[in-house]
């Protein structure tokens, strides 16, 4: 059992963390891949839950959309509130390094979008928790990727979650999206009515361009606005990092200076995450 989770009959083993922002294109999936890789390299057992109908996390862990067409996914597990279907849907990470064997995937496909219209069904907000709770004892950390909305799918994730991390790029719309997410999670009304217990533990700035004054200024303002909630360093925008996403490879395998930077940043960010999760 993970030493950071005290033993006890009612204690889940896994720490559940949601990555979310009300703005798309901010690097949620990329940050999730960075965290999953770094945690797995440290010996933790990881479950990645793809709760975005676009299925980007599923693709980046090695599964093309057509490979998921005729098998159960998170869409079916949520529809039936079924741990059995969730277990049937589990897939191994397709990355090549040996440590990737410690990463499992609950994949997604476009049919997950059908769950959004079921928001008004009694008890629907508990479906993800009901489906995944029996699986959580098998993992140390669960990382949930989400679509860029404050709607039903995010609500499902927040009901299950312990923590929220919000990635953002150092631009106005993304920073506003992060603040909307923080306000939503922290609203006393939402926490009561939606059954949210998670807290936002970090903001990670992605795709920072070196020597771009607006990006430098936005990072400084973010620190002024959120203080210690901003996790440094900001992840850089480098072409080799995009290559790892395009070809479904671990971000740690990026070449040259970009790889060195991302490996160092991953260590720092995961150290921060583990400290907060403790």
Q: Where are the domains of the chain?
A: 15-277
Per DSSP, the three-state class of 139 is coil
Q: Which residues contact 275 (CB under 8 A, 6 or more apart)?
A: none
Instruction: For residue 16, give every residue at least 6 positions away whose Cβ sits within 8 Å of its Cβ, in sequence order, or none.
Output: 136, 141, 142, 144, 160, 161, 162, 163
Q: Which two tokens stand for residue 2?
A: 């993970």
End-to-end Cα, the chain, rounded Å: 14
Residue range 91-136, pLDDT digits in tens: 999 999 999 999 999 999 999 988 987 777 767 889 999 999 999 9
Dump the DSSP string for 25-88. Answer: SS-HHHHHHHHHHHHHHTT--EEEEEE-TT-HHHHHTT--GGGGTTS--HHHHHHHT-HHHHHH
Residues 121 and 8: beta-carbon distance below 8 Å = no
Q: Are the CB atoms for 246 and 271 separated by under 8 Å?
A: no
Per DSSP, the chain holds a count of helices (H) and strands (E) of 11, 8
pLDDT digits (tens, 9 = 90+) for 14-32: 999 999 999 988 889 989 9
Please say if the pLDDT value at position 73 is more than 90: yes
Determine the 3-state secondary structure of 18 from DSSP: strand
172-230 confidence digits (pLDDT tens): 898 899 999 999 999 999 999 888 999 999 999 875 555 555 667 777 888 888 999 99
pTM, 2 dp: 0.90
The pLDDT score that the predictor gives to residue 212 is: 55
Q: What pLDDT was estimated at residue 200?
A: 96
Tell me the C-alpha to C-alpha distance, in Å, between residue 17 and each of 64, 80, 96, 203, 276.
Answer: 25, 23, 25, 13, 11
Token pair 């005290």 is found at 6
Residues contacting residue 168 through CB under 8 Å, at least 6 positions apart: 21, 23, 26, 174, 175, 177, 178, 203, 204, 205, 206, 222
Predicted pLDDT of residue 217:
74
Percent of the chain with pLDDT over 90: 59
Give 15-277's CATH code, choosing from 2.40.420.20, 3.40.50.300, 3.40.50.720, 3.40.1010.20: 3.40.50.300
Cβ–Cβ < 8 Å for 47, 142? yes
Alpha helices, H only, 112-151 = 127-132
Q: Are 28 and 167 in contact (CB under 8 A)?
A: yes
């Amino acid at each position: 059992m993970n030493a950071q989770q005290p033993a006890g009959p009612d204690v889940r083993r896994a720490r559940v963390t949601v990555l979310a922002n009300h703005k798309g294109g901010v690097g949620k999936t990329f940050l999730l891949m960075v965290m999953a890789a770094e945690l797995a390299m440290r010996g933790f057992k990881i479950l990645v839950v793809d709760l975005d109908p676009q299925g980007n996390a599923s693709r980046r862990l090695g599964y093309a959309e057509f490979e998921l067409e005729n098998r159960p996914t998170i869409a079916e597990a949520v529809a039936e509130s079924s741990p059995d279907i969730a277990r049937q849907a589990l897939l191994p990470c397709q990355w090549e390094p040996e440590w990737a064997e410690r990463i499992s995937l609950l994949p997604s496909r476009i049919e997950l979008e059908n769950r959004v219209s079921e928001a008004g069904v009694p008890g629907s907000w508990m479906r993800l928790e009901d489906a995944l709770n029996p699986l959580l004892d098998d993992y140390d950390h669960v990382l949930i990727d989400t679509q860029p909305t404050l709607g039903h799918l995010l609500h499902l994730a927040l009901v299950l979650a312990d923590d929220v991390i919000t990635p953002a790029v150092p631009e106005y719309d993304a920073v506003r999206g992060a603040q909307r997410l923080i306000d939503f999670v922290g609203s006393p009304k939402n926490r009561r009515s939606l059954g949210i217990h998670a807290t936002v533990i970090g903001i990670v700035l992605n795709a920072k361009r070196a020597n771009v004054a607006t990006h430098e200024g936005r990072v400084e303002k973010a620190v002024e606005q959120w203080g210690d909630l901003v996790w440094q360093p900001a992840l850089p925008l480098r072409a080799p990092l995009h290559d790892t996403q395009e070809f479904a490879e671990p971000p740690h395998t990026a070449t040259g200076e970009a790889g060195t930077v991302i490996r160092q940043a991953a260590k720092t960010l995961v150290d921060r995450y583990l400290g907060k999760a403790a």
